[in-house]
Amino acid sequence: MAINAQQALGAALAGSSARVDVDIAPRFKVGDRIRTRNINPRGHTRMPRYLHDRVGVVERDYGVFSFPDTHAHGLGESPQHVYSVKFSAKDVWGREGGERDFIVVDVWDDYMDPAP
């Protein structure tokens, strides 16, 4: 069930978490190379467009959380792992990215596939 703005504000102020107590095996482990999906759904997602179709390395598995893309629209929690993924700035920004710079972003499982 979707929540209204007042409920969302109350949950945020109370320190609520989207973590769910569901036993789901992770698809990825620390050190795995992943490729983000090039998705273009209608509306807002938690996947930055500049990271579409980019390769990164899993740095951490935070555990299982509700997937906000479905949960916020009343389409179910769709529980899944959320990972901290490190991307080379060079791979993301091309020659404008620094050789030693990187970006770390939290990425839901539904946004990722294994990279060769």
CATH annotation of 18-114 = 2.30.30.50
pTM to 2 decimal places: 0.78
In the prediction, which pLDDT does 19 show?
A: 66
Note the pLDDT tens digit of each residue in 35-82: 999 987 666 677 888 999 999 999 999 999 888 765 565 665 679 999
Size (the chain), residues = 116
* pLDDT band at residue 20 using 50, 70 and 90 as cut-offs: confident
* pLDDT band at residue 13 using 50, 70 and 90 as cut-offs: low
